A and B are shown apart, each in its own frame.
Chain A
């Protein structure tokens, strides 16, 4: 068995108001991959993140990170968390470089005095996300995409092998999304595990290796090619997706039976092409924005 970075065993969460947000989630996530987390609003994505981060203690089951309980793993700076934009107060008088430096606190002494190594880590992290020119800006004075980058830089400076990103693409334009995705790919190739929740179904096949589909429980988990299918999507999203299907006879004059299915939850749609029942994902990575899913 491959070493699992995150081990979820029968994880269940019941909120104090009696709401069953998650039940029976079991999965092993391995290093060097990007795992997409998709599901409708209220499916429990953020709840799963919070359980992994130890913000809430699962009411049943357990979470282990490289074999350690969550608390110990956090003490070792193994996990970085990039919050949803709304969770941060942008009026704080902190500069971009101060925010990134906070990622290093776990390595500093009692007084949090940055060492040369800390400063170097901050420089490098800012460089990697392309924000070095903005280091002296107050964080509220950045655009949405730039803010996301700064928090990714903080995660990098922290040096964790696991990075959790809660909806990093909301309110970000296609160009920025693509550059963030390129960065995530590199980070995963360096051996990190990235867990990314998103509503952009169309981007999932383009950058995720595996996908978790949740709706109060884990409906499906596995490689994108075999798991991210129309059936599973229908199960995860019920009638919640905007759904357009053009079958062979509407699409071609010849007897070609292949058809196009377009599924969308939010911004980027997912396009499937092929014969009914056996449709394949069309990667819409660079064509998004112009016409989507040209077929050949």
Chain B
């Protein structure tokens, strides 16, 4: 039995898939805490799709895919910010507009210029067959994003909570926001490899949403989210070996399962404890 459970660790590609997923899951989870508080959840999805033409371009020019993806991401985020500032369109319309345009450019590029890049791999992720070069890119991205966040998480919180105040204490608010979206684009690129464009949104939303139900302190929320993101990504990749499935789907399902348990059983904001608190009050009357 134990032998059977340890089987995946005998394969180098499985071990790699497990720890790379865990790393990416943790980084995305950190970002997710900000995303859900600002109502930017769809932004992650939009960025992931916008990245496709960047990847195509990078292959055309024989550059590392991460560079192309990254610039496309920044361009998309900047485009969204620009359109939103200059028009009175709502955020969802702006996001929809920009990301579908980018995604369409990507599709056109790929179809007029068939290339080695497998669009399916971008959309569904391909962590089990990730190349060593790609692993390197993912590690560098993750570590950079993680260290910036660890150093500056309080500044980001101050800016997102009350921008006016953040400015009044001399924080460079516009700069910090640009940095944040740069980090988000970078993390999305990394996540693309693991779970694919369609499921990136889950990685930058679900852990934060779960952690939000469990605490009233942002610092604690971040640690809970990172733990959830890391463990469920590792576990998802590990389990996918036995069921012979796409790890991305598994990772997201595990995260969803954790969210549901928090939703029901969280000590303060869970459905059950809230019911109980109200009932207790009724009985007391």
Answer yes or no: do A and B interact.
yes
Residues of chain A having any CB pair with chain B under 8 Å: 53-55, 74-77, 79-81, 83, 87-89, 91-95, 98-99, 102-103, 105-106, 110-112, 138, 154, 158
The interface residues of chain B lying within 8 Å CB-to-CB of A75 are 170
- Among A77, A95, A102, A110, point to the contact of B158 (Cβ < 8 A): A102
The interface residues of chain A lying within 8 Å CB-to-CB of B168 are 53, 74, 79-81, 158
B212 touches A105 (CB 8 A): no
- Among A79, A95, A154, point to the contact of B217 (Cβ < 8 A): A95
* B218 contacts chain A at the CB level, 8 A cutoff: yes
Closest chain-A Cβ to B158's Cβ sits at a distance in Å of 5
Residues of chain B having any CB pair with chain A under 8 Å: 37, 151, 154-155, 157-158, 160-162, 164-165, 167-171, 212, 215-218, 221
B151 touches A111 (CB 8 A): yes
Closest chain-A Cβ to B93's Cβ sits at a distance in Å of 20
The interface residues of chain B lying within 8 Å CB-to-CB of A89 are 37, 161
B218 touches A55 (CB 8 A): no
Closest chain-B Cβ to A5's Cβ sits at a distance in Å of 15
Q: Tell me, in angstroms, the Cα distance from A91 to B161 when the chains sit together.
A: 10
Closest chain-B Cβ to A69's Cβ sits at a distance in Å of 13
Q: Tell me, in angstroms, the Cα distance from A103 to B165 when the chains sit together.
A: 8
Name which residue of chain B comes closest to A160, CB basis: B168
B161 touches A92 (CB 8 A): yes
B170 touches A88 (CB 8 A): no
The interface residues of chain A lying within 8 Å CB-to-CB of B221 are 93
Closest chain-B Cβ to A273's Cβ sits at a distance in Å of 40
The interface residues of chain B lying within 8 Å CB-to-CB of A88 are 161-162
Name which residue of chain B comes closest to A87, CB basis: B164
B164 touches A83 (CB 8 A): yes
- Among A76, A83, A98, A110, point to the contact of B218 (Cβ < 8 A): A98
27 pairs, CB–CB < 8 Å, chain A vs chain B: A53-B164, A54-B167, A74-B169, A76-B170, A81-B164, A81-B165, A83-B162, A83-B164, A83-B165, A87-B162, A92-B37, A93-B215, A93-B216, A93-B218, A93-B221, A94-B217, A95-B216, A98-B217, A102-B161, A103-B169, A105-B154, A105-B155, A105-B169, A105-B171, A106-B169, A111-B151, A138-B216
The interface residues of chain A lying within 8 Å CB-to-CB of B155 are 105, 112
B170 touches A106 (CB 8 A): yes
Q: Tell me, in angstroms, the Cα distance from A110 to B162 when the chains sit together.
A: 19
The interface residues of chain B lying within 8 Å CB-to-CB of A106 are 169-170
Q: Tell me, in angstroms, the Cα distance from A112 to B164 when the chains sit together.
A: 18
The interface residues of chain A lying within 8 Å CB-to-CB of B169 are 74, 77, 102-103, 105-106, 158
Known: A88-B162, A89-B161. 19 other contacts (CB 8 A): A53-B164, A74-B167, A74-B169, A77-B170, A81-B164, A93-B215, A93-B218, A93-B221, A94-B157, A94-B218, A98-B217, A99-B161, A102-B162, A103-B165, A105-B155, A106-B169, A106-B170, A158-B168, A158-B169
Name which residue of chain B comes closest to A92, CB basis: B161
A74 touches B218 (CB 8 A): no
Name which residue of chain A comes closest to B213, CB basis: A93
Closest chain-B Cβ to A248's Cβ sits at a distance in Å of 49
Q: Tell me, in angstroms, the Cα distance from A103 to B164 when the chains sit together.
A: 12
The interface residues of chain B lying within 8 Å CB-to-CB of A93 are 37, 212, 215-218, 221
Q: Tell me, in angstroms, the Cα distance from A83 to B166 when the chains sit together.
A: 12
A91 touches B170 (CB 8 A): no
Q: Tell me, in angstroms, the Cα distance from A75 to B170 when the chains sit together.
A: 5
Q: Tell me, in angstroms, the Cα distance from A49 to B162 when the chains sit together.
A: 16
Name which residue of chain A comes closest to B170, CB basis: A75
Name which residue of chain A comes closest to B158, CB basis: A102
Closest chain-A Cβ to B160's Cβ sits at a distance in Å of 8
Closest chain-B Cβ to A232's Cβ sits at a distance in Å of 30
Closest chain-A Cβ to B131's Cβ sits at a distance in Å of 37
The interface residues of chain B lying within 8 Å CB-to-CB of A74 are 167-170
Q: Tell me, in angstroms, the Cα distance from A176 to B212 when the chains sit together.
A: 32
